[in-house]
Amino acid sequence: MWTVMSSPVGDLRIVERDGAISAIEFSPFHDHDGRLCGDRNDDCAVLAEAVRQLRAYFDRDLKEFDLPLAPDGSDFQKAVWSQLLRIGYGDTASYGEIAHRLGRSNAASRAVGLANGSNPIPIVIPCHRVIGADGTLTGYAGGIERKQALLEIEQDALF
């Protein structure tokens, strides 16, 4: 099941599978990418709660999400995504820092970047908080403009 909500970074499609959030997609949505979304259901409890929490996040009233998550990926991707959840609201980490947290060298930074870019649940699993070693905003699956907007939302809420 899925629902759509408007947000400051464009429409978001939130997808639920087996009682957990399995994807958040930025518009324009791609319905033929192999992912199964099922039917739209704006009344599904877990989707309604995700919408509520995302609205609170965008209103700068929520700093930590509390949602059941079921991202689909490899063991390495899931390990990276687990590390992303440890980056605090308003903080950032580099790809190299994430690699080191996983017990890997800087050489794994590229693999971390690929896993970061494959994150199926952006915003909630905060891949936007990962930046280049020199502090630059590097690639983001939703586009650099969205990444910058999400980081600005968090910075504005802190100050």
- Separation CA 154–CA 152 (nearest Å): 5
- Separation CA 62–CA 65 (nearest Å): 7
**Catalytic residue flag (residue 44):** no
Q: Whose CA is closest to 63, among 149, 147, 155, 137?
A: 155
The H-assigned helical ranges of the chain are 45-58, 75-84, 95-101, 109-117, 144-158
Contact 85, 121 (CB under 8 A): no
- Pick the catalytic residue from 51, 127, 131, 153: 127
Contact 65, 57 (CB under 8 A): yes
- Separation CA 86–CA 88 (nearest Å): 6
- Separation CA 112–CA 94 (nearest Å): 10
Cite the active site residues.
127
